[in-house]
Copies of this chain bind each other. A is one copy, B any other.
Amino acid sequence: MNKSSSKPFYVDADRLLLAVDCIIFGFERDGLKLLLFQRKVAPFQQEWSLIGSFVKTQESVRNAAKRVLKIHTGLTNVFMEELGSYGSVDRDPGDRVIAIAHYALMRLQEEDKQIAAEYKAQWFDIDELPALILDHQQMVEDALEKLRRKARYRPIGFELLPEKFTIPQLRVLYEVIYQRALDRRNFRKKILSMNVLEKLAEKDKTSSRKGAYLYRFIPAKYQEMVEKGVDFVI
């Protein structure tokens, strides 16, 4: 297919470069991480950067973001959402490029760290990021703010847990996102009062001698929460 359109409409409009950039957050017990890459192309070759790609004529913006994520992490079923556009004229000295930033959330496991290494990528602690190219630092700040805000009215954090999880695990997750301690007992009460969790018979003993009961989300209730936007201020 031709690079310039063969269709008869809109012939006078400018054609621009459109990119997607991904802010990939990783969740670990000791805090939030961010996946950064050493840029392969000029300008700013070798510098730390978010990962991105140009959007192709024959793919949707969302699919472009998914493609980027898959290519650079191997993952496909990750929570990802649009953050917004970064569209100032001079944001990229290489050319006029409009970026549509997306942020993704994943649970970090050992395997992911290996994958990262293969791609010259590295997980950084969220408070210890290196200098980033272009407006990527701004994107990260915006994504963090959006993530925290979103966590208050969407059960967003749940995306980061395995199918079976304990209440303390869920709490730690919110502590990491909100960056503050939550009362163990009040958290339990609040979350249970929502009636979205199903208690299982098994216990997880990896983090305490006593062991904590495993739970699972009740899909219907969980879906309800997503749609109605339950208040998750904890």
**Which residues of A approach B to under 8 Å, CB–CB?**
3-5, 7, 9-10, 13-18, 41-43, 54-62, 64, 82, 84-85, 87-89, 94-98, 100, 149, 153, 229, 231, 233
Within 8 Å by CB of A9, from B13, B41, B88, lies: B41
> Complex formed: what's the CA distance from A56 to B96 in Å?
10
Within 8 Å by CB of A5, from B84, B96, B231, lies: B96
Chain A's interface: helix, strand, loop or mixed, by majority? loop
Within 8 Å by CB of A13, from B17, B149, B229, lies: B17
**Copies per assembly:** 2
> Complex formed: what's the CA distance from A231 to B152 in Å?
11
| Chain B residues whose CB sits within 8 angstroms of the CB of A88 once the complex forms | 60-62
Within 8 Å by CB of A82, from B9, B18, B84, B233, lies: B84
Q: Chain B residue with minimal CB distance to A54?
A: B13
